[in-house]
Amino acid sequence: MITRTPPLLEVNALKKHYPLASGLFGGKKGAVYALDGVSFTLEKGETLSVVGESGCGKSTLGKTILRLVDPTDGEVFLDGERIDNLPASGLRQMRRRVQVVFQDPFSSLNPRQRVRDIIAEPITNFGLASGSELDDRVAALMDKVRLPRDAMMRFPHEFSGGQRQRIGIARALAPGSDLIICDEAVSALDVSVKAQIVNLLSDLQDELGLALLFISHDLAIVEHLTHRVAVMYLGKIVEIADRRTLFGTPHHPYTRALLSAVPVPDPTIKRQRVILKGDVPSPINPPSGCRFHTRCPFVMDRCRVEEPMLRSVPDGAAGQLSACHLDGVPSLG
Ligand SMILES: Nc1ncnc2c1ncn2[C@@H]1O[C@H](COP(=O)(O)OP(=O)(O)O)[C@@H](O)[C@H]1O
Ligand code: SF4
Ligand SMILES: [Mg+2]
């Protein structure tokens, strides 16, 4: 019998529906279909970026994996073990291995704690070290995120946004995590600082064999960091592929529209700009059939009634999956 090593993270048909407040007479008023059947795997040491416009369910995906919110349905496995239904005692162990870095480091760092204590807290909480060993570990983490050691005794407000994000990353690494979920972790930073933090994450990943689930509304920033990309639209993954394929030969019309807004470094190459008509529909009442049909330049009758499943792209790259009824990709011209 061949035993397969399970992926580090496996997400299977994960859903999170936020119920709407019930009506005057207690009648149900429906739900926000924030996450509506998302599946993917993430290997040890791999980066998967999750991209899509604001409100498509990226943060809900991260929070549901972390069990900051309970899933409505579906399964999540860490190293082959279910973690979506863990009791409180098991959650603690899971959180030692899966950490998060949010967009706004200021609000996620305790302003009254010194940097040393912020970084030491998870180590102490999980009983991983104390005394001089704890000091050594904190010092090593400061080095890893390239913060000067003398910064240890200072408070978060004394740092710039980029440095605060380094503190957040050190804290996320502190318990010896295997997976870090970065939710818009660089989105609020200036362009040059963004690049520095992306480089830091990339180096740490190489050095420590970390896996990253890198959530971003900005497709451009993930190009230099990621191994694979998943594109989300209204609570679902519409396309998933390795980086080269997704940026080079995307299949789904929504991916192509998002990409058309990404600047190309080489000025001699022009990407055809696709302007999507209309706004993103509400996740309370998502469109029938293909959820993208209200904005798709290639919409056909079938798209309004039949939901396309995520499937291998005909003649596509290995592992390229797209949820679209089109076989080929028609020209935009
Ligand atoms: N606690 C909540 N209660 C109700 N709706 C929510 C809640 N959190 C998020 N939503 C809704 O779920 C959808 C997805 O939100 P979110 O996951 O934050 O998207 P993203 O991170 O991609 O911007 C949005 O329509 C948002 O308004
Ligand atoms: S299934 Fe139809 S509407 Fe949806 S993306 Fe494909 S062509 Fe467009
Ligand atoms: Mg978000």
Distance 145 CA to ligand 1 centre (A): 31
- Ligand number, closest to the Cα atom of 232: 1
- What pLDDT score does 23 carry? 62
What distance in angstroms lies between residue 206's CA and the mean position of ligand 1's atoms?
A: 32
Show pLDDT as tens, one digit a residue, over the chain (333 residues).
Answer: 667 799 999 999 999 999 997 666 666 679 999 999 999 999 999 999 999 999 999 999 999 999 999 999 999 999 999 999 999 888 999 999 999 999 876 677 899 999 999 999 999 999 999 999 999 999 999 999 999 999 999 999 999 999 999 999 999 999 999 999 999 999 999 999 999 999 999 999 999 999 999 999 999 999 989 999 999 999 999 999 999 999 999 999 999 999 998 877 766 766 777 878 888 999 999 999 999 999 999 999 999 999 999 999 999 999 999 999 998 777 765
Atom of ligand 2 nearest to the CA of 302: 2
- Among 66, 133, 69, smallest CA distance to 96 is for 66
pTM as predicted? 0.95
- Residue with CA at minimum distance from ligand 2 atom 1: 324
From 298, 305, 310, mutation site for ligand 2 pocket: most ligand atoms within 8 A of C-beta? 298
Hunting for tokens 């019998």 — which residue is that?
1
- Per DSSP, 186 falls in state T
Residues 168, 193: Cα–Cα separation, whole Å:
15
Q: Which residues contact 146 (CB under 8 A, 6 or more apart)?
A: 166, 200
User: Does the domain at residues 7-15+34-226 carry the CATH identifier 3.30.70.141?
Assistant: no
- Which stretches within 145-251 are classed as H helix? 161-173, 191-208, 219-222, 243-248
pLDDT at 310: 97
Enter the tokens of residue 116: 């040393």
Calculate the alpha carbon distances from 7 to 10, 30, 40, 211, 246 in Å. Answer: 6, 35, 10, 11, 22
CA–CA dist 36, 9 (Å, integer): 18
Q: How far apart are CA 206 and CA 218, in angstroms?
A: 23
Side-chain half-sphere CA neighbours of 310 within 13 A = 20
In the chain, where the domains are located: 7-15+34-226, 244-327
Alpha carbon distances (Å) from 267 to 54, 195, 227, 250, 263 = 28, 21, 25, 21, 9
> Which ligand sits nearest to residue 72's alpha carbon?
1
Which atom, in ligand 2's list, is nearest to the CA of 308? 1
Give the atom of ligand 1 at the shortest distance from the alpha carbon of 232. Answer: 22
Positive or negative, the CA dihedral 65, 66, 67, 68 is: negative
| C-alpha separations of 152 from 24, 139, 162, 283 in Å | 54, 8, 16, 44
Q: How far apart are CA 321 and CA 254, in angstroms?
A: 13
Q: Could you identify the residue written with the tokens 């983490």?
A: 141
Tell which residue, 273, 232, 248, 56, has the closest CA to residue 240: 232
**Angle at the Cα of 257 from the Cα atoms of 253 and 259, rounded to 5 degrees:** 115
Is 18 touching ligand 1 by the criterion CB < 6 Å? yes
Q: Write the DSSP symbol of residue 264.
A: P
**Dihedrals phi, psi of 113, to nearest 5 degrees:** -100, 140
Query: Which of 300, 301, 329 should be mutated for ligand 2, with most atoms under 8 A from CB?
Result: 300
Residue whose CB lies within 8 A of the most ligand 1 atoms, among 59, 60, 237, for a mutation test: 60
CA 259–ligand 2 middle distance (angstroms): 17
165 backbone dihedrals φ, ψ, rounded to 5°? -70, -30
CA separation for the pair 145, 200 (Å, rounded):
7
- In single-letter form, the type of residue at position 323 comes to A
The bound ligand whose nearest atom lies closest to the alpha carbon of 185 is: 3
Give me the residue label for tokens 């949820």. Answer: 323
What's the token pair of residue 32? Answer: 């926000």
Ligand found nearest the CA of 53: 1
Q: Give the whole-angstrom CA distance, residue 289 versus residue 304.
A: 5
DSSP 84: T
Q: Determine if ligand 1 sits within 6 Å of the CB of residue 197.
A: no
Question: What separation, in Å, do the N-terminal and C-terminal C-alpha atoms of the chain show?
Answer: 52
Q: What angle do CA 99, 79, 133 make, to 5 degrees?
A: 50
